[in-house]
Amino acid sequence: MHSATVVLVVSVFLASSVEMVEALTIVLAVGVTRGWRSALEGAGAALVVLAAMVAAAGPALVLYVPLNALRIAVGGLLLVFGLQWLRKAVLRAAGLKAKHDEDAIFAEHVAELRVADGSGPARGRRDATAFVVAFKGVFLEGLEVVVIVLTLGAADHRLGLAAAAGGAAVVVVGGVGALVARQLAAVPENAMKMAVGLMLVSFGSFWAGEGVGVRWPGSDLALPVLVAVYGLVAWVAVATLARDRRAVVDVA
Amino acid sequence: MSTSPEHVRPDPPGPGSSTRVIRTAAAAVGRWPGAVGRFVWDFVVGDTPELAVGAVVVVVVVALLAHNGAARPVTVAAMPVLVTLMLGASVRRARRSRAAPQVEDTPGPEAPPPG
């Protein structure tokens, strides 16, 4: 298997897993407070819409957009997304930004949903609030995954593989999430986000470079090298920021 | 202002009401592009415009190098070096914006008592 294929599958799987954990927190909060039927219907409807978006836009991108133009656009978009993920992960790892606390987010959603309707959960009946909140949560968290699946899959002409990796993450995280229920805080989200950020930035550099005429040494083998280089950069950034933060705390 | 039922009752259906419905629908449709634009801006750019602008600049600079006869090692190295500089600048900007209020808001052990 090519190194680019491995990095593609791992990137899409990790990105989908992280977003699914965040979506699952919302769905669990809705299910616990408002009833499971509408929560699951909302989540299911959102997944269907997201899959339809991939099915509709993916082949059109692959068939009608010139490869170099696609790679420049995809590379630029992946650079922006990847740098955003990486920046947040670096700041969190250095202690300059609060970590994503799924327990706190779960409690916040439960409190909001209880306040939203004083009549309490509508177990067994259709509940518009539960449906909309679950749909919105899954749709918005999933939209970034759709962009990642479309961009990575289309640029590499492996849309089916990218979609399958994203779908596998939905199934795995959904299944594990249903079993562990409220222990989502134990998922090492920041480490996963750091890994996804590194891979997206590497893919972004690789595709944008290819699109504008850079001839990478070793072709696809340049991807793991880029991941390693950016990994080293991120590690140095975290270490430097953490040291500076400790120095500021000591002075204060 | 009166709140009697006569004042809150909806107008009876007629030619005027259908015009209002069309106007309301047209206004809603007219707001769509703006709402979609704002959503896309938040989704792609968000609170880090420097990264969006920087990504475009990096791609343009590497394209110029590749198409103006720069040596291959230079074009290959340019992308990761520029991306690293951009990430460093964005992280430094975030640290500055966070560090200043944190140091001021958190009094140290030797800080004088308030008042």
The B residues from 70 to 89 touching A (CB cutoff 8 Å) are 72, 75-76, 79-80, 83-84, 86-88
Q: Locate the chain B residue with the closest alpha carbon to A98.
A: B98
Structural domain including B51 reads 36-97
- pLDDT tens per residue across span B60-89: 999 999 999 889 999 999 999 999 999 999
Instruction: Report long-range pairs for A231-240 (Cβ below 8 Å, ≥24 apart).
Output: A231/A198, A233/B84, A233/B87, A234/A86, A234/A89, A234/A90, A234/A194, A234/A197, A234/A198, A237/A90, A237/A94, A237/B87, A237/B88, A237/B91, A238/A90, A238/A93, A238/A94
- Tokens 């997206």 belong to A200
* Domains of chain B: total: 1
pTM confidence score: 0.72
Give the pLDDT of residue B8: 46
Residue B2 near chain A (CB below 8 Å): no
Q: What are phi and psi for residue A182, nearest 5 degrees?
A: -90, 15
Best CA proximity match to A76, nearest among A232, A214, A164, A203: A203
Q: Is residue B102 part of a domain?
A: no
- pLDDT tens per residue across span B11-63: 555 556 677 777 777 777 777 888 888 888 888 888 889 999 999 999 999 99
Contact A212 B62 (CB under 8 A): yes
- pLDDT tens per residue across span A164-203: 998 898 888 888 777 776 566 566 777 888 888 898 899 8
Residue B51 near chain A (CB below 8 Å): yes
**ipTM greater than cut 0.85:** no
Give the pLDDT of residue A90: 92
Q: Is residue B51 part of a domain?
A: yes
Contact A84 B48 (CB under 8 A): yes
Contact A252 B106 (CB under 8 A): yes
Interface test with chain A among B47, B67, B74, B84, by most A beta carbons within 10 Å: B84
Residues 6 or more apart whose Cβ sits within 8 Å of residue A147? A77, A81
Contact B91 A87 (CB under 8 A): yes
Give the pLDDT of residue B90: 92
Give the pLDDT of residue A184: 60
Average of pLDDT values for B96-109? Answer: 51
Distance from CA of A213 to the nearest CA of B (A): 6
Q: Which two tokens stand for residue A6?
A: 């491995």
Give the pLDDT of residue B58: 94
Helix axes A189-212, B72-105, angle to 10 degrees: 150
Q: Is residue B7 part of a domain?
A: no
Q: In Å, how far are A16, A34, A50, A136 from A24, measured between CA atoms?
A: 12, 15, 16, 12
Residues of chain B contacting A248 with CB distance shorter than 8 Å: 99, 102-103
Q: Is residue B56 part of a domain?
A: yes
10-residue mean pLDDT profile of chain A (252 residues): values are 78 85 84 83 92 86 82 89 91 82 72 64 67 89 85 83 89 79 65 86 92 89 91 93 77 62
Q: Is residue B92 part of a domain?
A: yes
Q: Name residue B21's amino acid.
A: V
Residue B35's H or E segment, with its range, is helix B15-44
**Helix segments in chain A, DSSP class H:** 3-34, 36-64, 67-93, 102-116, 128-155, 159-180, 189-212, 222-251
Structural domain including A195 reads 3-251
* Domains of chain A: total: 1
User: Could you tell me which residues of chain A have a Cβ less than 8 Å from any Cβ in chain B?
Assistant: 72, 75-77, 79-80, 83-84, 86-87, 90-91, 96-97, 143-144, 201, 204-205, 208-209, 211-217, 226, 229-230, 233, 237, 241, 244-245, 248, 251-252
Distance from CA of B61 to the nearest CA of A (A): 10
Q: Locate the chain B residue with the closest alpha carbon to A236.
A: B88
Span between the terminal Cα atoms of chain B, in Å: 50
Q: Name residue B51's amino acid.
A: L
Give the pLDDT of residue A149: 86
